[in-house]
Chains A and B, each alone.
Chain A
Amino acid sequence: MSIETDSATRFADYAHPDRLVSTDWLEAHLGTPGLVVVESDEDVLLYETGHIEGAVKIDWHTDLNDPVERDYIDGAAFAKLLGSKGISRDTTVVIYGDKTNWWAAYALWVFTLFGHQDVRLLDGGRAKWEAEGRAYTTDRESASTVDYPVVERDDAAIRAFKDDVLAHFGNPLVDVRSPEEYSGERTTAPAYPEEGTLRAGHIPSAQSVPWSKAVAEDGGFKSLDELNAIYRAGAGLKDGDNVIAYCRIGERSSHTWFVLTHLLGFEGVRNYDGSWTEWGSAVRVPIVKGSEPGAVPVR
């Protein structure tokens, strides 16, 4: 029993316009039964400084990541989390957040791992809501707990692991980090070693398309034509391609995963969430430095 989608014409060209809602739509639908608004930010305190009325908070790190292993929570923990936020399996979930929805897109991708059907992004995220002078509240989160079924994660469809990437050579890879991270020139202050990864550069043959290229000036997504120019004409992606996107820890590439899957309509796009923090520290994997993609490794 999902809620009507946003029929705003500016979303109509996208492959899955039902995955986006505008700030106008959200403001008009706040409080609708069956709708839960989720805020997901990089900054764990931002929600407390003010959030959209009735929104609940889900933190990528303290809520969605397993506290011990480098993995996402399991079906039981996800069911407990979502139930505690007042979300049931047929709830329409709209996610928004800071940094042009980096973390919101990441949360949406994790929701998709568990097969939650109706999960949408607020186009433009927190910044657009704020720029338009819309209301925030500092009320404490107050969701009534509901039942959410235990559904195990299905990683196969949209998540790639290191071995998948090694087996993927010859198919398109998209590196969505900054050009400096891609080329491997790191600019860290003297006496401060780079944290997290031991090697710099990119996965051979990966095209560099920084995630933010998909974002328009108002913080929303660019138009379909503009996105086609970037990802098809620019990065050479074609219909039927099997694409893997990666960044540093998988959050920025969730944003690109959303663009490729839901706006451009590519099927089978996977996010390599191990990303550079895994690849750049793994033993005997190929790495290319510099601004050229480099050749597909011969295996």
Chain B
Amino acid sequence: MSNYVLPESLETIKADFHDLEIRDRLQLLLEFSNELPELPERYSEHPDLLERVEECQSPVFIFVEVDDREIVHLFATAPKEAPTTRGFASILVQGLAGLTVQEVLDVPDDFPQDLGLTEAVSPLRVRGMTALLGRAKRQIREKTAA
């Protein structure tokens, strides 16, 4: 993986965070938080289809779809009282949008630690995003193995 290059979408998000002062990084995370799309009806009406990410202190649920072109679609929901968790989910929803199964599986598991958020948010909390990414990848593996 030494020649590994992050997909452009994730690289842009990472660069956007690193370009900012620590305190402004929280503002950017808040923007992501506000941009988390509503769930499509097929999930908002069937919360049972969503998987809860237990590692996050706040209730956050994710669901991954893989379409017939092997493109990954990630859906997530978290309450407005948990803006950090919403922000983490939103970064992944935007950053992974349009990527193929292989591209998502290739994203380094420690990508969340490289975002420049550990100082602003604390390493402990960033673990919640690592768990989100891990669960998304596991769902993809399960779906593509079937």
Contacts and interface: CB of A to CB of B under 8 A. Distances in A.
A43 B85 contact: yes
Interface stretch (A44-52, A202-210, A222-230, A254-262): A44-52
A48 B81 contact: no
B3 interface: no
A44 B26 contact: yes
B83 interface: yes
Given A188-B54, A192-B55, A195-B55, A45 B124 contact: no
A71 to B, nearest CB: 15
B52 to A, nearest CB: 8
Interface in A13-62: 42-46, 48-49, 59, 61-62
Contacts of B77: none
Contact of B124 (A46, A48, A49, A61): A61
Interface in B27-42: 27, 29-30, 33
A44 B54 contact: no
A189 interface: yes
Interface string B81-100: 11111010000000000000
B80 interface: yes
B83 A49 contact: yes
A49 B26 CA distance: 11
B120 A46 contact: no
A192 B131 CA distance: 10
Residue among A44, A49, A191, A192 with the most chain B CB within 10 A? A44
B122 A44 contact: yes
Given A44-B26, A46-B83, A189 B54 contact: yes
Contacts of B58: 42-43
A23 B63 CA distance: 40
A48 B83 CA distance: 9
Contacts of A59: 122
Interface string A56-82: 000101100000000000000000000
Contacts of A44: 26, 84, 120-122, 125
A175 interface: no
A223 B132 CA distance: 41
A123 interface: no
B122 A49 contact: no
A98 interface: yes
Contacts of B122: 44, 59, 61-62
B40 to A, nearest CB: 24
B84 A43 contact: yes
Given A48-B26, A61-B124, A43 B82 contact: yes
B55 A62 contact: no
A44 B127 CA distance: 14
A189 B139 CA distance: 14
Contact of A45 (B54, B55, B87, B127): B87
Interface string A67-109: 0000000000000000000000000000000100000000000
Contacts of B82: 43
A140 to B, nearest CB: 9
Contacts of B83: 43, 45-46, 48-49
Interface of B: 26-27, 29-30, 33, 54-55, 57-58, 80-85, 87, 119-122, 124-125, 127, 138
19 contacts: A43-B81, A44-B120, A45-B29, A45-B30, A45-B33, A45-B84, A45-B87, A46-B81, A48-B30, A48-B83, A62-B119, A62-B120, A62-B122, A188-B54, A189-B54, A191-B138, A192-B54, A195-B55, A195-B127
Minimum-distance CB pairs A-B, first 9? A45-B83, A61-B122, A45-B84, A48-B30, A43-B84, A49-B83, A62-B122, A44-B121, A44-B84
